[in-house]
Each structure stands twice: as C-alpha cells, then as structure tokens.
Structure 1
C-alpha cells in the first residue's frame, strides 16, 4: 500500500458516501427465537422504512417472513418495540398502517383484531398462551376523545374477531406481561405519571385463570426503584432486574418470598425501557442465564450461574449487546462493536462459540471500506460541577490520507437522544462518514446517560438543559485543550432530546459555552419546553416533571427553552424535521427557524414528508446527511470538500 497522501483535515475523499449510509445500513430492531429458529426485525430505508420480520433459512440465508406492504411496527408509546413474536412456527405482528394484530400460518397475514378509526387501537409486547389460545399483551386505546390514551394488558382470542378483553388495568402504563410455565401465575410491570419506567416501575404478581387476575400483589419497584424485564425460570421462579442497589442487577424471587441478588456488582444488567420487547438476559436452563451488561462503559455478554452467582464473560469482539433470546443452549443476541454494525449473533451458551447470522452493514466484508473505520476510545473528562463525564471519541481515520503537520481536525460533538439513553458502541456509518473525511467525532454520554449507574442517571433530575449542555461543552474543551481537535472548528448536532441539548448549548446564558461551537444541527429537536409539556404524546407527557420540574413553576421552562433565547444565538443552525412527528411536532422547529431567520442568522430547514420521529426513508436519510455536511463545511469548517 502506498504512503498516505497529506491533505487538510475535513477534505479527505471517502468511499463512505451519504447514499452508502442511507442504503447500506438497515436497522436491526429486535432479535427473536422460536424453537431454535433465528428471526429478527430489520428496518429498510430503501423500502421507505418498512420493518420486515426475517427468518434465517436452513441454507443460512435470510428469508422475508412478513410480505410487502406489511410493516411489523407498532405505535404504542410512539417508540414501539415488541411488534412481533413467533410461537410454534406461527407469526403474530402489529402492522404499522392500521395497527391491527395479524397472524401468519401459511404466509398470508390474517387480521386478529378489528379495524379502528384512525388506527386508534394499538398492540405491542405480546406473548402466546397456548393452553387458552390467547395473545396477551399491551393495548393502547385512543378512541376516547379529549382524554389520554388508555394503556391496559388485554387478551385477544387467536381465532380473532375481537379487540381484546382487559385483564390488567388501573395504572397509567403497563408492560412486560409474563405467564408462568404452568400458566397459573402472571407478572407484569406498571408505572404512573409522572414517573418513567427507568425511575419508578413496579413489578406485580397475581393468579391467572385465563380471564382475570386475582390476588394481585406489588412485589418490587416503586419510588426510587426501577424494575426491568421480569422473566420466569423454567422451574417457575420469577426473576427481574432492579436498580435498588444503585445498579441494575438481576434478582430472583425465591419460593419463600425472599429475594436474592444473583450477581451483585457495579454494572448495568438493565436498560432504560424506551421500547417494548427489550431483553438483557435469557434462561438456558433452570439455573443458568446468558446476560448482557455494561461495566465501565463497555458492553459484555456472559453466562451466569444463578446458584452461586458465578459470572463467566464470553470472549467476543463486541462491545454492545441487547435483545438476548435463548432456546435451550442456543442464544441469539443483537451485537455490535467498533468494526461491526448491529448484527444477529448466534452463541453456544456452553462453549461461547459465536457466529454472525446477519449484519446490518457489512463494512468488514467490503474491501472498498476497509481502512476507513475509526475505532472509538472511551474518555472521561472533568465537568464544571466537580465530577467527571464520559464520551466516545472517534479520531479521524482514512488509510489513504493524513493531516498536515501542525494542523488539528475539526470536531463534531454528537448529543444522543432520550435524554435518558446512551451513545452506541456499535459501528455507525454516519459517524464514519465524518471521520473518514478527516473530521473527529465525540459522542457524549453526558450526565443522565445510562450505563453508569443510577446516581449518574439521577444527575439529570431537574437539570435537563443544564448539566447535559455543560458536559457537551466540557467534552469539546477537553479535547481541544489536550491538542486533539481544532477549537476553532467545532460543531454540535443531535436528534430529539439531543437536538434540544445542541440548541441549548448554542443559546446558553454562559457565553463560554456558546463560544465552543461554530455551528449546530438539530434533527427533530425540542426548542420550546413549555410547548413540549403541553403538546406531546402520553408516554412522555409528564417526563419533563422529572427532567425540569413541575410545569406549575414555569420559570425553568422559560429559562432553558432555546426559542426564548434566540437573541443569544450567533452560530448558524441546520434543522431537519419529519412532518408526521407526534413526539416533537414540526411547530417546535418552525418557531425556532422563524426566530433565527428574523435575525438574519444563516439557517437551513428541511421538512421531510412521511417521516415521523427519526428518519426511515433512504432518500431522506441521504439528503439530510449531505445537507448537514455541506452546511457545516460552509459555515464552520472553512474548507471546500472535494
């Protein structure tokens, strides 16, 4: 190979184009397993974001299960998840267009639930009760006018014809229905406004006769305790994940009603439950589990002996694991790493041997892309409040080029959404789009992010728009002060809650924070906190109580809202928005755009038809990335890309 060509940072030619990013990287939503058959749900930007249930064929090749135009995607909580399941070879799924439940035995979807006007009845997170011929799961009912949707757990007959009979009700939210192996006991999660499931979810247990729950008992979770993913072991003991110790650990409810922490450690075996169907552990026998956890910011997969708490990590080249499913000792999991985008991994629980069944982006197999992948390193940096925060730093990397001596690269600061979420440890071609051009990226796990324990998450309580903004600016300052990036060419971008953090940094009352950034990008980001509190969907309608404070005290909402302080904004901003977004309506973005344009601030606004919260259509993904890159190049990086 010839020596690298010296060229200014930010101008390196790269084979990772916006079109490549949009078309080559499908999304992997969930991994499923049925009697050893490996299945998954993939989102296809080239099919307008259609989510397809796929099965691994006997020849090792993927086979589509759900036919076009059906899309296995639910709108419960708007974020969805848990849209499909496979049981004894039969497929059950929620179809995006009409939100009805469907069953597939012979390749033809047949509706189980009746139509509802405006897709008012939505279904998710189901299980199959074979004894009683029922689908049991969450139903979200929007039929009542003028009030909130109603979220219950219902039973739908497998012969179809009804909208479901309610078996669990009374809480604002329900999730994770779990039927015991003998079919007589039923467990579920519940929580109420203003809580979110990662702040105060409750675990309930009752007796079940096929039509009703009796003897319902609250057994874990509640104020200051989040419970996640209840599961029954094959011998009928209820397990769950709780953060009562300050970390999400796995607990067992013993036959005498006592509880045991199976493996006490400063690690996260749970996740923030943004979507249904999430799974971080699965049973391979009555006494053994395979579990995914995060320790020191890195994801791991291990076998756990429930009898003595022995944890045996597998030696695998991945750093991000989720959607863990098991059938006997065969485990399937969604996995990713520095060189591997989200992939379906098949693991032998006995030996740890693993093989990739399918991957969402085959960068490792594409000779044209090899040598253009930046491997991140976890950095810990000081924050203004005396603590430290974390981030993934991606230096520029392109085998064909290097920067001139004495020149430092520009920096893109990424703010993840949520804000109770985290930076992904899996390969993302959108990040590599920047780094392969000679532009560094830092993906900030600001205070409040998951993966570092409850105390770290709780830093964000009442402080959204404060500590997250401070941490993003601190990350940029840390990298600049340590001579790794050019402090004069730093931009900030984010989606949803991350878009708010980006806008907050650009309109901050502290001039030093504003001065860190030359330009910004907001992808369906929040700009008006008061409007968000009054104009969002049920799941997040009281989230701001925790993030900011009760709306009865409006001052913090006004102080932190970027749209209220557009007069402070001096940096150009690019806005990207879907016209069907119910989580952050277009009005949020358009008010901000108008405010900036009235002041003559360079502003880009792209509104995409048919997109909701997050872009799923390839042409729109491509256009947004190209437009943001051109905008940053012109307004902040100061060079013309080849």
Structure 2
C-alpha cells in the first residue's frame, strides 16, 4: 500500500537528506590524468579538513591513495588553482599545500612522487606557487606556470612560464615572461614543440588569449617562438564598456586547451567561430599558420577556465576526437572527424561532463546527471557502455532517491522591454510523504551561481535536493552573463553587472508567479561569491526578497576593484566600467552603500582566509546593518577560503541557513538544527 501523504507547510517537510549526509557527499574530483591504462585523480575530502589527495586506479582496477596523509595536492596559482598534478610513466608531479611553512604564505613547493617512494621536493623553498604541469622525460624537465608573490607585475604576483628540473637539482628556468598570465604548456608527442597560452589585463581566460608555439631544442631552450592565434579585434565600436574595448584590442580570440594529437597536429578551442550572427567556442586545428574551425556548432566545447588544467576533448586511436560540449546549459559527448568536422553525438545519460580524457580508447571523465551525482566515469564510446569508477557521494538509498526533484529547463522574457531572454533550471518541491497545506504555494529559492561568468550545474546537486525535499521550489539561474549560450549572451553582463542579473531574477519570479507554481511573496535568494553579490543587490535594490543568504558574497564593488586576487584584479572593471573613473558607478551598484534600502533579513557566511572576497567586506556590511538595526545573522570560519572545504563548515552553515529561513518565514523546519544568533530580530517582528 502507498504511504499516507501528510499535509504540512512548505519548508517544514521532514527529509532524508540532512546536512550530516551532505557534508561527506561534498567530495570533489578536481583533476583527472591518464597514464596509459592507469587513471589518476585529485580528490578533495571535507571529512579530512578539505585535504586534496591523489588517487590511482591501475589497469587491473585496483584503487589506491598514493599520497601520504601529511601531503595535500593543491595549488594557489590564480587563487582558484587547478592543474595541481601531472603524471607520466608512473611519475607524479604535484604542488604541495601546507600552512605557515613560510611567513605570510603557504608551502607550494613542487614534489615528485615515484612509485613506492616518499614525495621529494624539486623546487626551492620560496614564496612561489606552481601549476599546470607538463612532464618532459627526455630532458628531465617539467614545464609549468610559476607565480611569484614577492615579485610584482602590474601590482600583482608575477607569472612566468618555466621549466623545472625533474631531479630538483637546478633552479627553475624561465621560458616566457612579460604577460600577466600563462597557462597550458603542452609538449608535442615527439618532444620537439611546445604550445602554451597567455593573456594580460584586462582580459580574462575566456575572453582574449594568445596561443604560442615554439621549437624545443635538445637542451630545452625555446626557438622560433611564434604567435599562432590571438589577434586583436578589427573593430571595437560595438563594445559599450571601454574596458571591453581595451580587451578586444589586446586579443579578440578566446583560445583554450591547446592539445597535440598522437599524430602531432595541434588543436585548441576558439570562439572565433561565427554562426548565425553570434560566436561560439568550437574545436579548431592549427592549419596554414592559423587556427581553423573543425566544428561549426551553436554550442560551447569548453567551460570558462576559472581553474587551470581543464580538458573537454581528447583523441581516439583511429584519429577521431572525442569532445564534450554544452548547449542550453546541458552537456553531451560527440565523436568528431577532424578532417570533415562531422560529429556523431553519443547517447549517454550524462548532462554534466568535465575533465575528459581518453585511456585505451575509453572515455574517462567526471560525469553526472540530474538524477545521479558526479562520479569518475569510464565509457566505451563505441558501445555507450559505462561504469562508475569512483563516486563523489555515499550510495543514495531508495528513500533519498524518491525525493529527487528533476528540473524543468525554462526560458523567459527579461530586460527593460521584455525583448531579451534568460534561462534557468526550475526544481519543484518533491517528497512523496508530504504535500503543501491547503491554498499554499511553495516559497522559491533563487540559486545564483558564482563567476558571474559560469553556469548552473546540470548534475545532481544534493544541496538543491536538501531544500526541494523540504518543500521549497528552487530556480537555478543561468542569467545573462552565464556561459554556454554564446558570446553575446555572456557579454550581455559586461558593463551591466548588478543590472541584467537582477533583472533576470525579477523576471523569473514574475514568470513563475503567472504559472502559480511559487509564492511570489516568499522569495529567497542564496548565492556564493558573485552569486552572493547578486543576492545582496536583490536585497538592496528590489523589494523581491523575503530573506537572503550570502556565502562569501561581494558587498563593496569598489573594494573588489582595489583589493582582490590576481586573476580578478581587473574583472570588476570589465563587469562595471573603468576604475577609478567609474567609481561613482561602482558605489551606486554596491549593496554596502545602500544598506538602508535593505528590507529583508540576511544571513552571511564568510571564510577568514578568502583572497577573493576579503572578510572585511562582510564585516563592513554587518557593521552597517547593525547600525541601522536591520535583521541579520553571520558566521566567520577560520581556515576557510573562497568556497568551504571542511565538513564542519558545510554542516553548520546549511543548518543555520535553513533555521534562519524558518524563523523569518514563520515555519518550523523538521529535525534538530543549529540556530544562528539573529541580531536586530525585534525590528522585523514589530512591523
């Protein structure tokens, strides 16, 4: 017999998905490498304080943690890291992370790990970080990016392309310098050529980059350095923001992921591919001294490179290319003929794909779907058969599976005159044991992704299910400015941060209210980083919200223009306008300077070691809200950075967030939860 369904207020439903089950399920696979039939990956573990270890699966299928427990494979290059490991011939190179080894910095020495031995450092003790490794066994060298904190270029830590001595005897040798950023050194199969990327301010790696090639002589010296791609724009009059014009005059070609085929041909991603009046990031090959399109598709074949070391295409033994692409926010796989560009899409259940490689003609990647969490996948592209090699979550029981809400992709009109279009994934409340009270519609949580140049995930997110299984509706926003919808959609944000994202959130609520699927008088926004900014902007500049949750969110855009990490040092100018000439605009769009307009209670969560959004940002907003007697709660976390990695931080913040919603919206959440201290609560209770 079916279980009886209980009527209970939305938000108060009992759920089998608890914060305690979520934290261990927050394990992440941050990088994948293949070495013949062996597979290696970096795995971040909240239950070990956010430590990142290295795992190996042998050709026989045995999985082993190869990094001793006192090592932590994590790089701080560009603050967001990525590319902290490489492997070749069973020799692993990785960046070690440990705190307070040197004054005011962290240990970031590169180590070599040989089978059965303890890792040994191959770089000197210095205030430098390293990432994006390429091993050259013939020359006993490792090509990578070096970031030196004690040497500044344009006010930021200096980056160079360097060669490290694989034996750790010689000091790092600079191969290329002078640009603000370097990435993706990749050696040709015969070891005679090196390709790499560079870019300089005010560009970002998904906007304007340069692709270089050079011959590598037997001693490791680069000869005949050649700029293969990354030409400036012929015209910039279409760009309203003068910072975008400067970027386009530097390079109007977003190039990513250079890779050599086994036959020695160079491929890369480029958004110079124009289709139907827009530009799309497609697969290209180096021919006739330039990059020429292989694919012509209204899709994006890569994600924005917030982290180094990403891979979304690889090579099969028959010469074809296996590639991942995203269209309308959903990822898929295709096999591509490099000569004709003809692509055959694979029928797989995966809607989110990252870190794609090929090992023994099998696809290796991190894949998930709307009903299955991300896992390390091995897939046969010829048959479609696959196996889940490593889960990122504990096995979900049937009780949890019954509560999984599958989203509806929706598009809706937005903008001042309604002529623009925006996108989101809409998740309805889902719990077979409960239904809402009579004449009640569910409260809506607007989930605002970070970046803002990023995208909503198309993989099962148990945090979303944590809320939908309790009776909330959730809209995971792909507002204008998100990637995966073409260059024009992404660039709609530039000069209009705090406008188009806010407009799109308001427009979505109106669209859902017309469908009577949510309660427009109980709208919540939650977001981290720039998603936290949009959340705070909604609280300050609209009357849309009933409550808001900001995770390491930006409240003062002017401070971000002055003080932030290296990667984003000029990003705010691209999103707002040139600084300091546009300082009034920065202040006009900063929630901090308009705290008196905030009418909804806010809960803030902030890491004390955040290099992207300094903790002072949160404290200034807290002080301002307290001065104005505005209801708020907050937590600061030691040893947490930009994005929480520790289980205890994840559990506490989620419990307090749900409890906060219940207090403000007037329902009692199910279960035992830690409750935050809410300041100035009497001001809202008196209204």
Q: TM-score, normalised by structure 2?
A: 0.90
In 2, the alpha carbon distance for the partners of 1:610 and 1:196 equals 28
Q: CA deviation at 1:405?
A: 4.2
Rounded to whole Å, the distance in 2 between the matches of 1:462 and 1:202 is 24
Which aligned segments of 4 or more residues in structure 1 are displaced greater than 6 angstroms?
none
Q: Deviations over 1:140-162 (max 9, x none)?
A: 01123794211111111111134
**1:144 pairs with one of 137, 144, 151:** 151
CA distance in 2, matches of 1:300, 1:454: 19
> Residue 145 and residue 178 in structure 1: after superposition, are their counterparts in 2 closer, same or farther (change >3 A)?
closer
Q: 1:168-219, CA deviations, whole angstroms, 9 ceiling, x for partnerless residues?
A: 1111101011111121111111100111111101111122224322222222
- The aligned residue for residue 371 of structure 1 is 402
1:134-533 aligned at under 5 Å gives the runs 134-144=141-151, 147-209=155-217, 210-222=219-231, 223-244=251-272, 245=274, 246-254=279-287, 256-257=288-289, 259-285=291-317, 287-363=319-395, 365-385=396-416, 386-508=419-541, 514-533=542-561
Preserved contact between residue 329 and residue 458 of structure 2 (Cα < 8 Å): no
SS at match of 1:79: coil
Structure 2 residue aligned with 1:92: 93
C-alpha separation between the residues in 2 aligned to 1:75 and 1:162? 23
**2:658–2:669: 8 Å Cα contact kept in structure 1?**
no
Q: Matched residues in 2 for 1:5 and 1:636: separation?
A: 21
The residue aligned with 2:235 is: none
**SS across alignment from 2:349:** coil
1:26 maps to 2:55: no
Post-superposition CA distance 1:570-618 (Å, at most 9, x none):
1100000001111111001100011011111111110001101110000
CA separation of 1:362 and 1:301: change in aligned 2, threshold 3 A: farther
1:571 counterpart residue number: 600
Structure 1 residues 434 and 107: alpha-carbon distance in aligned structure 2, compared to 1, 3 A threshold: farther
CA distance in 1, matches of 2:514, 2:394: 36
Q: Hey, what's the Cα distance between the residues in 2 that align with 1:460 and 1:620?
A: 32
| Residue aligned with 2:150, SS | coil
Alpha-carbon distance, 1:4 to partner: 2.5
The answer to whether the Cα contact below 8 Å between 1:376 and 1:392 also exists between their aligned partners in 2 is yes
Instruction: From 539, 548, 554, give the equivalent of 2:583.
Output: 554
Q: Deviations over 1:422-477 (max 9, x none)?
A: 11111111111101101111110111001101010010111111111111122222
Q: Which residue of 2 aligns with 1:538?
A: 566
How far does residue 382 in structure 1 lie from its aligned partner after superposition? 1.0
Q: What aligned pairs does 1:76-115 form with structure 2 within 5 A after superposition?
A: 76-97=77-98, 98-105=107-114, 106-115=116-125
**Alignment-derived partner of residue 64 in structure 2:** 63
Deviations, residues 192-249 of structure 1 (Å, cap 9, x unaligned): 0111111101111122224322222222124332001111111111111000120000
Structure 1 contact 233–286 (Cα < 8 Å) conserved: no
CA deviation after TM superposition for structure 1 residue 23, in Å: 1.8
Cα displacement string for residues 87-117 of structure 1 (whole angstroms, at most 9, x for unaligned residues) = 111111101111111111124111111212x
Q: Provide the C-alpha distance between the structure 2 equivalents of 1:57 and 1:629, rounded to a whole number of angstroms.
A: 43
Match of 2:683 in 1: none
**Equivalence for 2:631:** 602
Give 1:637 deviation, angstroms.
Answer: 5.3
Given that residues 9 and 667 in structure 2 are in contact (C-alpha distance below 8 angstroms), is that contact kept between their aligned partners in structure 1? no
Q: Is the 8 A contact 1:36 1:330 kept in 2?
A: no
* Distance (whole Å) between structure 1 residues aligned to residue 533 and residue 291 of structure 2: 41
Taking the aligned partners of 2:510 and 2:666, their CA distance within structure 1 comes to 17
8 Å contact kept, 2:183–2:198: yes
In 1: Cα distance, 2:621 partner to 2:432 partner: 41
Deviations 1:463-517 (A, max 9, x none): 1111111111222222122111111111101000100010011111xxxxx2211
CA contact (8 A) 1:507 1:566 kept: yes
For residues 381-428 of structure 1, give each alpha carbon's deviation from its aligned partner in whole angstroms, at most 9, with x where no partner exists: 111232110011111111222223432111111110001001111111
Instruction: Measure the CA separation in 2 of the matches of 1:428 and 1:130.
Output: 41
2:648 matched to 1:619?
Answer: yes
- Whether the 8 Å contact between 1:228 and 1:271 is mirrored in structure 2 is no
Q: What SS does the corresponding residue of 1:228 show, helix, strand or coil?
A: strand
> Of 117, 135, 150, which aligns to 1:128?
135
Cα offsets for 1:49-68 (capped at 9, x unmatched) = 00111112566453211111
Deviation, 1:41, is 1.3
Alpha-carbon deviations, 1:121-146, whole Å to 9, x = none? 11100010111011111110112379
State the Cα distance separating 1:367 from its structure 2 match: 2.8
CA distance in 2, matches of 1:139, 1:145: 13
| Cα distance in 2, alignment partners of residues 8 and 41 from structure 1 | 42
Deviations 1:531-556 (A, max 9, x none): 11111121110111211111122121
Give, in whole Å, the separation in 2 of the partners of 1:321 and 1:314: 13
- The answer (yes or no) to whether the contact 1:491–1:636 under 8 Å persists in 2 is no
- In the other structure, the counterpart of 1:511 is none
* Structure 1 range deviating more: 36-45 or 516-525: 36-45
Q: Aligned to 1:506, what secondary structure does the other structure show?
A: helix
Cα offset, 1:265, TM superposition: 0.8
Structure 2 gaps of 5+ residues are 99-106, 232-250, 672-687
Tell me the C-alpha RMSD between the 2 structures.
1.5
In structure 1, C-alpha distance between the alignment counterparts of 2:62 and 2:619, rounded to whole Å:
45
Relative to structure 1, the CA distance from residue 598 to residue 259 in structure 2 (aligned partners, 3 Å threshold; closer, same or farther) is: closer
- Tell me whether 573-582 or 304-313 shows the greater mean CA deviation: 304-313
Distance of 1:159 and 1:83 partners within structure 2: 18
Specify the SS of the correspondent of 1:247: strand
